[in-house]
Structure 1
Amino acid sequence: MYMGTETGRTAQGEASVSARLDRLPPTRYFRGLVARIAIGGWFEFYEMFMAAYISLGLIHSGLYRATTAGIFDVNGFASFLGAFFAGMFVGTVALGGFTDRFGRRAVFTFAMLTYSVASFAAAFQHEAVAMDAWRFVAGVGIGMQLITVDTYISELTPHDARGRYTAFSILVILTSVPAVAVIAYLLVPHTLLGLEGWRWVMIIGAAGAVLIWFIRHGLPESPRWLESQGRVGEAREIVDEIERKVIAETGRPLAALPAGPDAQALEARGAWREMWQGRYLRRTLMLSLFNFCQTFGVYGFGAWVPVLLASKGITITHSLLYTMVIAITTPLGAIGAMACAERIQRKWQLVGCALVVAVAGVLFGQARDAVPILLFGSAVTIANNWLIGIFHTYQAELYPTRIRARAVGFVFSWSRLSSIFVGFWVAALLKHYGVPAVFALISAAMLVIVVAVGVWGPRTNGVRLETLSS
């Protein structure tokens, strides 16, 4: 049975916007919408992973050292990473609620402008303290942006394609990693127009501020968020427009409204403290533990690859070359996540990726020749980014709209907290015990993820957001 926009009503009156969105089929319109939001995320990941590819340039210029004398040593490369992730921690915890208060679209724009301006300013710093200060500000902006993108996409897309659309967004986003790797490989060893190559890499990343004004036009606010704020008329207008575009593209009337709990009734009972009550308590604890540990693999490896290779005695040129080749495999993880997003339970994909990182990481730490370095380094990179492609969907769908951004911001903040210290721990292990010890730490963190998600993680594939919230 099919119904058009005007006949898709509940017996109680106007259908909830959530029910109307969830009956929509996958279309080019949704892919275009997700791609435009993902472009904002593209610059986030450029900023986050840029540190790895300019690390040798920063160290070679004398601005930082590879190792550190302690957690408060601002002259160590770990402080460059720590300042950035400290800013992200503030952005996700202290400012994560901004997305729930002011809306997904407004914060998406504000956050991108914040970190673009800060990154541009950082490119012209000559002292470690000033550099760390601007990196902190950039981190604040990216901390807000990360949770906004996840929330935005999960609320705009139909439930039976939610994972695939989020994985598609991660695929778009992760193309930034090989892009920054190639840019760094070409620029870092050189000086252009009186500026060191690593500075140009940062300037290029700041270009997001220019693109945001083109991206934001035509992006709708999340109808689910508007509905949760009592702005039902605005929400319905946006869904009316989305339905018109879907009908025009498909040439068919819309499917019947899905059965399930009424979104508006659920939202009326909501409160932020709910994440600490009932079924949400277990989810909050599981996701907090997951996020604290996942950065050991993603950033403990990704941000340190050139330095770890250099510590093996590999030259700067070859380190950058190997790192670039490994980085080119990054989108393969997102492709795998997109292909399997709705076919395999997301919780088990997270478990499998963590196991691959644990095993391949240890083998990478022991490798000395080019082939095993590239093979195991690529395996870690693909698994890490497959994990990224899945967990961004997974954590956003475990909370209701009324608290989604704040709850995701809180659990995601644990990854920012651990990221502050991971750099210092990696530097200390590298200095005293070598590369194998670094990967022993990473593997231990991955095994914690295997247990936490495997035991406590709920199944979510194909389930409506409102059903998961009921």
Structure 2
Amino acid sequence: MDQHSLGSDKSDTPQKSVRKIAIISTFGGLLFGYDTGVINGALPFMSREDQLNLTPFTEGLVTSSLLFGAAFGAMFTGRLADRFGRRKALLFLAVFFLITTLGCTFAPTVPVMVTFRFLLGLAVGGASVTVPTFLAEMAPVERRGQIVTQNELMIVSGQLLAYVTNAILATVFEDSGHVWRYMLVLATLPAIALWIGMFIVPESPRWYATKGKFGEALNVLRKIRSEQRAHSEIEEIRNSLGEESKVKQASFKDLTIPWIRRIVVLGIGLGVVQQITGVNSIMYYGTQILEQSGFSTQAALTANIANGAISVLATFAGIWLLGRIGRRPLLIGGLIGTTSTLLLIGICSNVLEGSAFLPYVVLSLTVTFLAFQQGAISPVTWLVLSAIFPLKLRGIGMGVAVFWSWITNFMIGFAFPILLDAIGLSNTFCFFAIFGVGAIAFIYKFMPEIKGHSLDEIEHHFHSHNKSTKIKKKPTEPLSSI
């Protein structure tokens, strides 16, 4: 029996237990968001001569080293989560977040900062894979979309928290050269909360089942489902594992099987598409973008809060839209919106260069861009990635897909300040708009609609080598709100 269980409180209903699990585990998403967003406000202070004295090259290096680490964290944490369990992986990540955050906070030089940012990235990447996988396996099918998307909400909430604290600390400690260290160290608080919280969270029943521990799996299901449904779901998991019995042990070799390779290609494509919109050029360098358009540093830090706020509000809208619109049209619509907005930023930055209106036009357009990104593209991406991989390969499959997402993120994070310095604001955003057109074409051609289909139907679609974007329903299969 699982000793680390929320079910020890007899007053907890299954719905309350799932809600608590979601809140506690998504502290990993909050850390993901804070650690990627805090650099936005910290960079201008790190760059001062009496601090780390950053150039455009070293700015890109400090920012993107975390993203490079995240790529490897995503790749290998998925395997660790498959081997040792989702819960143990999250406990380890919480400790790693704490240690590496302190390393970044006290870094005396650029090489030390880059080293600890890379190590912190391992934890960020690990959380980006493990948390949505854990949530997808704990949630009942009819609430899977809503619950998995809560992680995206916590990510953008973490980024908003970073922007708000950056602005406050910059005002309170305006004369302190070390204000960026205060910004970074605050990430230790959610790391401690995640570590404590994971001691009362049960392991995934689906992971137990992959290890042949069906008794433990059923015990957990009884705490997060009704009694009848717990027995029904454990049988579904047995059947699913039976169908996947040819895959003896999850390994990278399994990714060469043709039908699995099709899923991996789609997963990699989704991860890359989410990043080549250029979203993280705004999330990481929003303060610099607003400074270059005409705001002062302090005004840019304050104005950047609007980017964080709209991200949170748009994610709420995205959760609502996921229950009403298909995944495919929502993603394509979001990409059309972001691509159009990027083009407008490029045009307006050129036409209104030097104008007093330009800073406010750029701010309104970045807010519009993030509304499309966080309200459509990001929620759909993480939801689809959590659903398309077969059970035994879910950890490693997501790891590969998210690895390439982070590698793309790394390249953009590294190149953006260099591009901004070399070709200017207008040309940089027109460059991203071209990528957006390619992203729309990829999704239109390769992504099937998964809304209203069970995990088994999605798997069967890829297994049958069907190149259509329409998944056939099985009359005997219950539908879920994936």
TM-score (structure 1 length as normaliser): 0.85
Provide the residue aligned with 1:158 in structure 2.
140
* SS of residue matched to 2:26: helix
Q: Bigger CA drift: 361-370 or 335-344? A: 361-370
Provide the residue aligned with 2:32 in structure 1.
44
Tell me the alpha carbon deviations over residues 49-93 of structure 1, each in whole angstroms, 9 at most, x when there is no partner. 11112221222354143522xxxxxxx200011211111122122
Do structure 1's residue 239 and structure 2's residue 221 form an aligned pair? yes
Q: Which amino acid aligns with 2:421?
A: K
Contact residue 295 and residue 418 of structure 1 kept, 8 A = yes
Q: Bigger CA drift: 144-153 or 451-460? A: 451-460
* SS of residue matched to 1:357: helix
CA separation of 1:220/1:135 partners in 2, compared to 1, >3 Å: closer, same or farther? same
CA separation of 1:380/1:423 partners in 2, compared to 1, >3 Å: closer, same or farther? same
Quote the offset at 1:240 in angstroms. 2.1
Tell me the alpha carbon deviations over residues 304-353 of structure 1, each in whole angstroms, 9 at most, x when there is no partner. 11112222232111211221122211112211221021321212222222
Provide the residue aligned with 1:291 in structure 2.
271
* Higher helix content, 1 or 2: 2
Provide the residue aligned with 1:77 in structure 2.
59
What percentage of residue pairs aligned between the two structures are identical? Answer: 19
Contact residue 46 and residue 205 of structure 1 kept, 8 A = yes
Contact residue 341 and residue 368 of structure 2 kept, 8 A = yes
Do structure 1's residue 98 and structure 2's residue 86 form an aligned pair? no
Q: Distance in 1 between matches of 2:175 and 2:246?
A: 60
Q: Distance in 2 between matches of 1:398 and 1:294?
A: 16
Q: Distance in 2 between matches of 1:135 and 1:421?
A: 15
Provide the residue aligned with 1:319 in structure 2.
300
Provide the residue aligned with 2:260 in structure 1.
280
Q: Distance in 2 between matches of 1:444 and 1:274?
A: 34
Provide the residue aligned with 1:346 in structure 2.
327
Provide the residue aligned with 1:331 in structure 2.
312
Quote the offset at 1:427 in angstroms. 2.2
Tell me which of 361, 365, 369 is aligned to 2:342: 361
Contact residue 112 and residue 145 of structure 1 kept, 8 A = no
Q: Bigger CA drift: 44-53 or 206-215? A: 206-215
Tell me which of 45, 48, 52 is aligned to 1:57: 45
Tell me the alpha carbon deviations over residues 21-70 of structure 1, each in whole angstroms, 9 at most, x when there is no partner. xxxx99343223212211221111110111112221222354143522xx
> Is there any run of 5+ residues in structure 1 with no aligned partner, and where?
1-24, 69-75, 248-252
Q: How many residues align?
A: 432
Q: Distance in 2 between matches of 1:311 and 1:257?
A: 58
Q: Which amino acid aligns with 2:443?
A: V
Contact residue 170 and residue 298 of structure 2 kept, 8 A = no
Provide the residue aligned with 2:374 in structure 1.
385
CA separation of 1:395/1:46 partners in 2, compared to 1, >3 Å: closer, same or farther? same
Provide the residue aligned with 2:15 in structure 1.
27
Q: Bigger CA drift: 150-159 or 321-330? A: 321-330
Contact residue 190 and residue 196 of structure 1 kept, 8 A = no
TM-score (structure 2 length as normaliser): 0.83
Q: Bigger CA drift: 267-276 or 343-352? A: 267-276
Contact residue 17 and residue 223 of structure 2 kept, 8 A = no
Provide the residue aligned with 1:172 in structure 2.
154
After superposition, residues 178-327 of structure 1 pair within 5 angstroms as 178-191=160-173, 196-243=178-225, 246=226, 257=232, 262-270=239-247, 271-272=250-251, 273-296=253-276, 297-327=278-308
Quote the offset at 1:141 in angstroms. 1.3
Q: Distance in 2 between matches of 1:446 and 1:384?
A: 12
Contact residue 339 and residue 437 of structure 2 kept, 8 A = yes
Quote the offset at 1:192 in angstroms. 8.6
CA separation of 1:277/1:453 partners in 2, compared to 1, >3 Å: closer, same or farther? farther
Q: Bigger CA drift: 450-459 or 356-365? A: 356-365
Contact residue 293 and residue 359 of structure 2 kept, 8 A = no
Provide the residue aligned with 2:476 in structure 1.
none
Tell me which of 385, 403, 406 is aligned to 1:413: 403
Q: Distance in 2 between matches of 1:314 and 1:298?
A: 20
After superposition, residues 431-446 of structure 1 pair within 5 angstroms as 431-446=421-436
Q: Superposition RMSD on alpha carbons, in Å?
A: 2.4
Provide the residue aligned with 1:141 in structure 2.
123
Provide the residue aligned with 1:22 in structure 2.
none
Quote the offset at 1:127 in angstroms. 0.4
Contact residue 157 and residue 308 of structure 2 kept, 8 A = no
Q: Which amino acid aligns with 1:373?
A: V
Contact residue 70 and residue 122 of structure 2 kept, 8 A = yes
Provide the residue aligned with 2:463 in structure 1.
none
